[in-house]
Structure 1
Amino acid sequence: MTPAHGTLPIADARRTRQELVRRLGAHRGRLAVSLLTLLAGTAVTLATPPVLGGIVDVVADGGGKDRVLVLGVVLVLVAVAGAALAHAGGRMLVVLVQGVLASLREDVFETAVHLPAHTLESSDSSDVVSRVTRDVEAVSDAASDVLPDVTDASFTIGLSLVGLAVLDFRLALAGLVCLPVHVLATRRFLARSHLVYGDVRRLESARGQSVIEAVHGAETIRAYRTQDRHLGELAAHSELAVARQRDGVRLRNRFTGLLNAAEFLGLAAVLVTGFALLGSGAISVGAATAAALYFHRLFGPVGALLGSLDDIQRATAGLSRLVGVTDLGREGGTRDGDDRAGAGHGRTVTADTRHRPAIDVKGVSFSYDGTRHALRDVSLHIPAGTSLALVGASGSGKSTLAHLIAGLGEPDRGEITTKCAKPSRAPSRYLVTQEVHLFGGTLADNLRIARPTATDDELRRALREAGAGWALGPGSGLDTVLGAGGTALDDGSVQHLALARALLADPDLVVLDEATAQSGPQTRTLLRTALERVTRGRTSVIVAHRLEQARDADRILILRRGEVAEQGTHDELLASAGEYAALWQAYTGTGPSSHPHTDPPTDPHTKEQHP
C-alpha cells in the first residue's frame, strides 16, 4: 500500500494484478468460452487475405468468372462469420468483466461504509468521491470498450504473423523489422504514463477537495473575506492538474508518432521482400498481395493494442485505487456481531430484556493524524442505564469521544469496555449525528433503514413515540415520497425522523452527537421530547448542543482541548463554581440556577448555541 498525504491507500501493481487474476479466475469457464469465441472469429477473418490473393492469381492467369464468383462468395461468408463470432465473443467478455467490476464496486462500497470513521475523516472527502466515480468510470470504460478490442487485436497480430510465415517465413521476418521501434515506443510510454496518470488522479482529487471545502465553508469564507485566497488555491490546484494532463498528452503524441514510423518501416520491408521473392519465382503475385494485406491488417490491431495502453494505464491507476480501499477493509476487518453503531437493526429489544450496559473509558487517547491529539488520557464511567452529556467548545473532542464510544474507531491508547448483567451477547450501539441523510424513496423506506423487518404498525408507533405524528397527518403517511422529486423536509424534520429510526433500532446504547442541532423554533420542543424518549431506559451519551440537554442528563463531562476538565452532576458542577458553572451562568443570563422555568436563551458567545 502506498497512501499519499490526505488520501486512502493505493495498491501497488503486483497486488492489483493478483486481485484482478483472483476475480477473473472465479469465472474461468466463462472467460475461456468468450476468449475461444473471439479467437475463432479472428481466425475466420484472417482467411480474407489468401482469398483476395487467390482472386488476384485467377485474374492474372486468365481464369474464368465462375472461379472469381466462388471466391467472392467465400469472401462474403468469411466476413459475416468473422463478424458474428467477434460480436458474440466480445459481448460475452464484456458481460463477464462488467459483472466482475460490479462485484468490485460493491466491495468498495461495503468496505467504505464499514471503515472506522476516523479513517475516512483523515482522508480528503474528494478522494473517496473520486474513487467511486472517476476511477470506477475509467475501469468500466476500459472493460467495455478497450478489453474486447485489445483481445481481438492480440489474436489478430499473432495469427497474421502465422499467416505471413505460412506464405514464406522471410515475409514474416521482414514484418518484424518494425518490432524494435514498437518495443522502444512502448517501453518509453509505460515508463512514465503510469506515474503521470496516477499524479493526474491525485491532483484532480486535491482540486475537488478544495472545491468541497470552499462550498462547505462558504459562509466563513465570506465572513472573513478570503474569497481571493481560496480562488487562488483552487486555481493553483487546477493549474497543477492541467499541467500534468498536458504531460500525458505529450506522451501520447510521441507514442503515436513512433507507432506510425514503425508501420511505415514494416510495410516497406514486406513490400520489398515480396518484390524480391516474386522476382525469383519463390511466390506468386497473389501470395505477395496476400502478404502485403496481412501486414496492412496489422496496422489497426497494433495501433489498437498499443494505443489502448493509454486507456489501460488510466484504468490500472483507477483499479489500484479501488483495490487499495478493499484491502484497507480486509486489513482492518469489519465490525462483527452487534457490537457496532446501529447494530440494533432488524431486531426488537424490550425494556425488560435490554442489557443497559455500563461503559468504562480508561486512559483513552486518540489522534486523527498521528501527531495532534484529539483526546488525551480520558477516563470516565457511565453506569448502566444512565445518561452522560459531553460539553465543551468546538474542537474539544466531544464528537471524537462520542464516536469512539459508539464503536466507530479504536483509541490509539487506552480502552473502552462495556459491561452487561448478561454478558452472553455484546450490547448493540446506535449513533445519531446532526448530519442526517434523507434517502430518495418513501417515508417507510427511510424508516426501515433502522429495522428492515418492521411492520407498518411498528413504523407508525415509532413516529408517534418520537413525537413525529406530523408525518402521519392529512396528506402524509408511510407511502409519502421524500427527497428529490418528492416532499421536501427541513433539517429539523429530517433529524426528527432520525430519532424515530433510533427508536425502531431499539439499541442498548445510544450515542447522540448534536442530534438536534438543526432544529428551529418550530421543531425544537418536538425534538427535545423525542430526545428524551430515545434516551429513556437505555445507556446514552449525548453531545450537548444546548446546556439544558446537559442539565437533564444524569452526569456531565466537560472537555477542554481533548482532556477532562470537570465531571459530575448538574448540581455538583454548579456548586463547584468551576468552568461548567461559568458556562451555565453565561448561557442562562440568570446566574446559577439548577432549574429555570423556561429554556435558556442562546449562548451569547456563539450564534449556533454550542456550549
Structure 2
Amino acid sequence: MTPAHGTLPIAGTRRTREELVRRLGAHRGRLAVALLTLLGGTAVTLATPPVLGGIVDTVVDGGGRGRITLLGLVLVLVAVVGAALAYVGGRMLVVLVQGVLAALREDVFESAVHLPARTLESSDSSDVVSRVTRDVEAVSEAASDVLPDVTGASFTIGLSLVGLAVLDVRLALAGLICLPVHILATRQFLARSHLVYGDIRRLESTRGQSVIEAVHGAETIRTYRTQDRHLGELAAHSELAIARQRDGVRLRNRFTGLLNAAEFLGLAAVLVTGFVLLGSGAVSVGAATAAALYFHRLFGPVGALLGSLDDIQRATAGLSRLVGITDLGRDSDSDRDGVVGDRDGDRRISAAGPRHRPAIDVKGVSFSYDGSRHALRDVSLHVPPGTSLALVGASGSGKSTLAHLIAGLGEPDRGEITTGEAGDARTPSRYLVTQEVHLFGGTLADNLRIARPTAGDDELRRALHEAGADWALESEAGLDTDLGAGGTPLDEGSVQHLALARVLIADPDVVVLDEATAQSGPQPRAPLRTALERATRGRTSVIVAHRLEQARDADRILILRHGEVAEQGTHDELLASAGEYAALWTAYTGTAAGTGGAAPP
C-alpha cells in the first residue's frame, strides 16, 4: 500500500484486483449463472442481422409476403427473448455485486471506526470521510450502472465478430481495421487516467480538509482576522482540484474522439468490402446488409465498453482507497484487542467473564504522535484494584493521551501498561468516555445499546435511573423516543449524561473518564455529578479531572507537566506538600469564592 502525506494508505493495483477477485470468488456459483444468462441474451440477439438480411434477400428475389411476415415474427421473438434474458442476467449480476459491495462497505466502516487514534490523527479527517462517502458511491455507481453494460457489451462484441466471420472472413477482417485506433485510444487513456483520477480524489480530500478546519476554527479565524488567508488557501486547493478535473475532461474528450473515428473507419471498410464481394458474386445483398448491421451494432457496445473505462477508472481509484482502509484495519486488529465503540468517545474492550477489580500499572511509558515531540515521557504510576486516580495538569500536559493509552487506544512507544495481576485468567474490560459528545440518529434505546447491543429494556431503564437520568424517560415514547435530527433535541450536557449511563450498561472492570462532564457548563449539574460517581463506584477508574473537586474526591492524584509526572499522592498529601497541586487548589477555591460561586467543601 502507498501512503500519501496526510492521508491513509492506498492499496496498489495488484492488491485491489486480488481483493475484488476474492470477494467475487466467494459467490462464484451465482456469478456463473448471471454471466451465462447475459451470454444467452446476447447470443439470441445475434440472430437479428441475419434475419434482416434474409428479409432483404426475400424482397430482392421477389419472395412472398408470408415469408417476410414469418421473418418479422422471428425478429420480434428474438427481441423479446434477448431483452428478457439481458434484464434477468443484468439484475442477477447487480444484486450479486451490490451484496459484495455492501459487505465491503461494512468492512470499510468497521475498519475506519476501529482505526487507532494515532493513525487517524496523523491523517486528514476529510480523507476518511471522502473514502466512506465519495469512494463508496463511485464504486457502487459503477457496479450498478456500468458493470452489466460492460459485461453485455463484451459478449456482444465477441459474438458479433463471430457472426461477421461466419458470413465471410473477409468482412470480419475489414471490420478489424478499426482495431489499431481502438488500441491506441485505450492505451493512451489507461496510461494517464488512473493517475489523474487518483489525483482528483486526493485534491478533493485536501480541499475538504481545508473546509473542515476553517469551519471548526471559525471563531479563531474571526478573532485573528485571517479570513482572507484561509479563503486564499481554500481557493488555491479548489483551483488545483479544478485544474486536475479539467485534465480529466480533456482526457475523456480525446478518448471519445478517437473512438468515433475508429467506428466510422471500420464501417466504411465493411461497406466497401461488402460492395466488392457483392460485385464478384461472393455474397448476396442480404449477407452484405447483415455484415453492415453486425458492424453497426458494434458501435454501441464498443462505445459502452471503452467509454466506461472512464467510470471504471474512477471506481478502481475509489476501490483502491477502500481496500487501503480494510487492509489497514486488518493490520491493526492485533493492536486494538477487540475495541468497539461509538463516535462520542466511548470505547470498550470486552472480555468474557464477571467483572472484577484489576490494578493498573504504567511503567516507564513514553509516547509521541509525530515521532519527534513527546506527549508523554517516562511516566510511571500504580492504581490499586478498585481505587480511583485523577489526572491533573494544564492543557497539553498529556492527560488525555495517558488516559487513552490506559483505555487501550494505542500502544506506547516505550514502556508498558498492564491491567490486572499476574496470572489473571482474562484481560479486564476497559471503557473510555471522553468530552466529545455525539448523539446518534435513532431512538433512546438505540443510543444506549451502543454500549451493549444485547441489553434488555429493563436494564436500560435501570441504568438511566442509577445514573440519575430519569428525565430521558419522561416522554410518552420512553425508550422509543426519537433523538437526533428530526427527533427530540438534547443539549451537550444531556448527551454526555447518556454517555455516562452507558458505562453502567457496559459494566466494565476499568473505566476511564476524560473530562466526561466538560460539556455541562461552568458548574456541573447535580445529576451529572451523581452519574460520574455512580460510573466509578466499585471500579478501578482513571479520571481526567475537569474540575479540581473531581481530583479531591479521587483516591489518588497525579499531576502532569509537559508529559512528565510532576507530583502524585492523595489530596491531603499534596496540599501538605505545598507544591503545584496546592497552588492550583488555592487558586481554584479562591476563584470560586471570589466569583460568588460555592467553593468546594
Q: TM-score range by the shorter chain?
A: over 0.9
Q: What is the identity, as a one-letter code, of the residue corresponding to 2:287? A: A
- Give 3-state SS (helix, strand or coil) of 1:118's partner: helix
CA distance in 1, matches of 2:349, 2:274: 78
The answer (yes or no) to whether the contact 2:517–2:524 under 8 Å persists in 1 is no
CA distance in 1, matches of 2:105, 2:95: 15
2:468 corresponds to which residue? Answer: 467
The answer (yes or no) to whether the contact 1:342–1:505 under 8 Å persists in 2 is no
CA distance in 2, matches of 1:474, 1:287: 79
CA distance in 2, matches of 1:244, 1:597: 59
CA distance in 2, matches of 1:231, 1:483: 32
CA distance in 2, matches of 1:50, 1:251: 38
Residue 481 of structure 1, CA deviation:
2.1
1:535 corresponds to which residue? Answer: 536
1:488 corresponds to which residue? Answer: 489
Q: Please report the TM-score for the alignment, with normalisation by the length of structure 1.
A: 0.93
Offset from partner CA, 1:475-523 (integer Å, 9 cap, x none): 5732322222221111111111111110121111000011000003675
Offset from partner CA, 1:47-92 (integer Å, 9 cap, x none): 1111111111111111111111111111111111111111111000
1:82-161 alignment, distance < 5 Å = 82-161=82-161
339 and 226 in structure 1: CA distance in 2 versus 1, 3 angstrom threshold: closer
The answer (yes or no) to whether the contact 1:391–1:558 under 8 Å persists in 2 is yes
CA distance in 1, matches of 2:591, 2:45: 92
1:505 corresponds to which residue? Answer: 506
Q: Say yes or no: does 1:598 pair with 2:577.
A: no
1:582 corresponds to which residue? Answer: 583
392 and 299 in structure 1: CA distance in 2 versus 1, 3 angstrom threshold: same
The farther-off stretch of 330-339 and 485-494 is: 330-339
2:78 corresponds to which residue? Answer: 78
2:173 corresponds to which residue? Answer: 173
Offset from partner CA, 1:272-296 (integer Å, 9 cap, x none): 1111111111111111111111111
Q: Say yes or no: does 1:374 pair with 2:414.
A: no
Which ranges of 4 or more aligned residues in structure 1 deviate by more than 6 Å? 338-341, 344-348
2:311 corresponds to which residue? Answer: 311
192 and 144 in structure 1: CA distance in 2 versus 1, 3 angstrom threshold: same
The answer (yes or no) to whether the contact 1:447–1:501 under 8 Å persists in 2 is yes
Offset from partner CA, 1:23-69 (integer Å, 9 cap, x none): 00010011001101111111111111111111111111111111111
The farther-off stretch of 367-376 and 189-198 is: 367-376
CA distance in 2, matches of 1:77, 1:465: 72
CA distance in 2, matches of 1:139, 1:454: 36
- Give 3-state SS (helix, strand or coil) of 1:598's partner: coil
1:397 corresponds to which residue? Answer: 398
Residue 474 of structure 1, CA deviation:
6.4
Q: What is the identity, as a one-letter code, of the residue corresponding to 1:580? A: Y
1:2-401 alignment, distance < 5 Å = 2-333=2-333, 335-336=336-337, 342-343=347-348, 349=354, 354-401=355-402
Q: What is the identity, as a one-letter code, of the residue corresponding to 1:500? A: A
Offset from partner CA, 1:396-435 (integer Å, 9 cap, x none): 2211111110011111221111124871121110111111
1:609 corresponds to which residue? Answer: none
CA distance in 2, matches of 1:95, 1:459: 38
The farther-off stretch of 570-579 and 142-151 is: 570-579
CA distance in 2, matches of 1:576, 1:256: 80
- Give 3-state SS (helix, strand or coil) of 2:10's partner: coil
- Give 3-state SS (helix, strand or coil) of 1:589's partner: helix
Q: How many residues align?
A: 594
176 and 509 in structure 1: CA distance in 2 versus 1, 3 angstrom threshold: same
- Give 3-state SS (helix, strand or coil) of 2:479's partner: coil
- Give 3-state SS (helix, strand or coil) of 1:357's partner: coil
474 and 289 in structure 1: CA distance in 2 versus 1, 3 angstrom threshold: closer
Residue 461 of structure 1, CA deviation:
2.1
The answer (yes or no) to whether the contact 2:204–2:241 under 8 Å persists in 1 is yes
- Give 3-state SS (helix, strand or coil) of 2:364's partner: strand
CA distance in 2, matches of 1:149, 1:466: 57
Q: Please report the TM-score for the alignment, with normalisation by the length of structure 2.
A: 0.95
CA distance in 2, matches of 1:301, 1:89: 17
The answer (yes or no) to whether the contact 2:463–2:505 under 8 Å persists in 1 is yes
CA distance in 2, matches of 1:293, 1:107: 47
Offset from partner CA, 1:376-412 (integer Å, 9 cap, x none): 2222211111111112222222111111100111112
150 and 165 in structure 1: CA distance in 2 versus 1, 3 angstrom threshold: same
Residue 586 of structure 1, CA deviation:
2.6
Q: What is the identity, as a one-letter code, of the residue corresponding to 2:154? A: S
CA distance in 2, matches of 1:416, 1:522: 34
CA distance in 1, matches of 2:474, 2:198: 54
CA distance in 1, matches of 2:71, 2:563: 86
CA distance in 1, matches of 2:522, 2:318: 47
Residue 454 of structure 1, CA deviation:
2.8
2:435 corresponds to which residue? Answer: 434
Residue 436 of structure 1, CA deviation:
2.4
1:404-419 alignment, distance < 5 Å = 404-419=405-420
- Give 3-state SS (helix, strand or coil) of 2:2's partner: coil
Identity of aligned residues (%): 86
Q: What is the identity, as a one-letter code, of the residue corresponding to 2:203? A: L
- Give 3-state SS (helix, strand or coil) of 1:567's partner: strand
- Give 3-state SS (helix, strand or coil) of 1:496's partner: helix
Q: What is the identity, as a one-letter code, of the residue corresponding to 1:402? A: A
552 and 416 in structure 1: CA distance in 2 versus 1, 3 angstrom threshold: same
CA RMSD of aligned residues (A): 2.2
1:519 corresponds to which residue? Answer: 520
Structure 2 gap segments, 5+ residues each: none
The answer (yes or no) to whether the contact 2:349–2:408 under 8 Å persists in 1 is no
Q: What is the identity, as a one-letter code, of the residue corresponding to 1:571? A: D
2:454 corresponds to which residue? Answer: 453
Offset from partner CA, 1:101-140 (integer Å, 9 cap, x none): 0010111112122222222222211111111110000000
The answer (yes or no) to whether the contact 2:387–2:539 under 8 Å persists in 1 is yes
CA distance in 2, matches of 1:254, 1:524: 66
- Give 3-state SS (helix, strand or coil) of 1:518's partner: helix
378 and 523 in structure 1: CA distance in 2 versus 1, 3 angstrom threshold: closer
